[in-house]
Amino acid sequence: MQEAAASNIYISRRGDRRPDDPLISLIVPAYNEAEVIGHFLEATRPVLEATGHAYEYVFVDDGSRDDTANILSSEFKNGLPGRLLGLSRNFGKEAALSAGLEAARGDIAIIIDADLQDPPELILQMLDGWRAGYDVVYGLRVDRSSDTVMKRSTAGMFYRLFNRLANIDMPANAGDFRLIDRVVIDALLQLPERNRFMKGLFAWVGFPAMALPYERPPRKAGTGKFNYWKLWNFALDGLTGFTTLPLRVWFYGGALVSLGAFAYALYLTLRVFAHGIDVPGYASLMVALLFFSGVQLLSIGMIGEYIARLFNEAKQRPVFIVQDVIEGAPTSRPTRLADEKNDAE
């Protein structure tokens, strides 16, 4: 099904029909979440049981330095269905999500934060959306009052800028909390890029999508992992990954400035003929000099942002390194997928 280095992506939909009894993979990136993991399991298990389907947890320990890995590995050793991937260091949430998607075996994946800011009850509604035929059901944060004013307004600015500049439509205030069908997982896994701005990639792959509005509660326990410097770079990753406009705009800016400079040069020359040479002009020279050196540095800096990312892509380093995998029970109960595996043996 997955041809190596295919230039186009063809996803087969397993005989056009979705399974009636899908296996659900819950993908959870976790970085120093020891304080909240217990609450998380308590809150999610009843919901997963209530779906009536088999499920597995796919935890990705993103290089936690607290007890996260210990707590999770003993849970899996005690029969929690699914597996724990331990990354060799902190690779960031986007990389952790990619790892989780790769390790998920489900017909459906649900991506959810470990801190219970993504209400688990919504999983049931997401499944309804999936049954109604949507391949993507994403959570839409209608109430972000748990975020600071600063975070909300900068996030709002980012979404507006992104949607104006990028060639894809990314729903504002959609997070990573979402259900995706196997077809979407397979499509995502075939994207070769190293810069994995997941929100953008989710939008880029397309497929019928449904929004599910919800209020985002504050963190259950533990602390947030993103500061403004990280978020700023995250925003740059997103923009540079999905639009080349910041690069191309300098062509038009430059053309405009050259045109102005040409007209001004003409005017100056004619003025010399008419009125002779006059020396004053320090202020105008200085202002023009400072202005244009500023513009040049800015444009070079912009090019630098892209070159740095090209450089990272060119190195072709893997997105993450898995240090160990701890397997729990295969799934919460025997499934069609397990039967198929037994048949193959």
- 186 sits near ligand UDP (criterion: CB under 6 A): no
- Judged by beta carbon, residue 224 or residue 304, the one nearer ligand UDP is 224
Beta carbon of residue 306, minimum distance to ligand UDP (angstroms, whole number): 24
Sign of CA dihedral 126, 132, 138, 142: negative
- Judged by beta carbon, residue 231 or residue 302, the one nearer ligand UDP is 231
Question: Do residues 180 and 136 make contact, with C-beta atoms less than 8 angstroms apart?
Answer: yes
Question: Do residues 108 and 25 make contact, with C-beta atoms less than 8 angstroms apart?
Answer: yes
- Judged by beta carbon, residue 68 or residue 335, the one nearer ligand UDP is 68
Among 56, 115, 118, 176, binds Mg ion (CB under 5 A): 115
Q: Which stretch binds Mg ion (CB under 5 A): 56-64, 66-74, 109-117, 226-234?
A: 109-117
User: Could you give the CA distance from residue 253 to residue 246 in angstroms, rounded to a whole number?
Assistant: 11
H/E run at residue 95: helix 93-103
- 29 sits near ligand UDP (criterion: CB under 6 A): yes
Return the structure tokens found at 189.
């896994």
Segment 56 to 115, residues that bind ligand UDP, using CB under 6 A: 62, 90, 92-93, 96, 113-115
Write the DSSP assignment of 152-191 as a string of letters.
Answer: HHHHHHHHHHHHHHSSS---TTEEEEEEEEHHHHHHHHT-
- Judged by beta carbon, residue 156 or residue 254, the one nearer ligand UDP is 156
First to last CA, the chain: 20
Among 131, 218, 226, 317, binds ligand UDP (CB under 6 A): 226
Binding pattern for the stretch 60-99 against Mg ion, x by CB under 5 A and - elsewhere: ----------------------------------------
HSE, side-chain direction, 13 A CA sphere, residue 136: 25
Biggest CA–CA distance in the chain, Å, is: 96
- 200 sits near ligand UDP (criterion: CB under 6 A): no
Pairing of β 136-143 and β 209-215: parallel
- Judged by beta carbon, residue 66 or residue 338, the one nearer ligand UDP is 66
Residues making contact with ligand UDP (CB under 6 A): 29-31, 33, 62, 90, 92-93, 96, 113-115, 117, 224-226
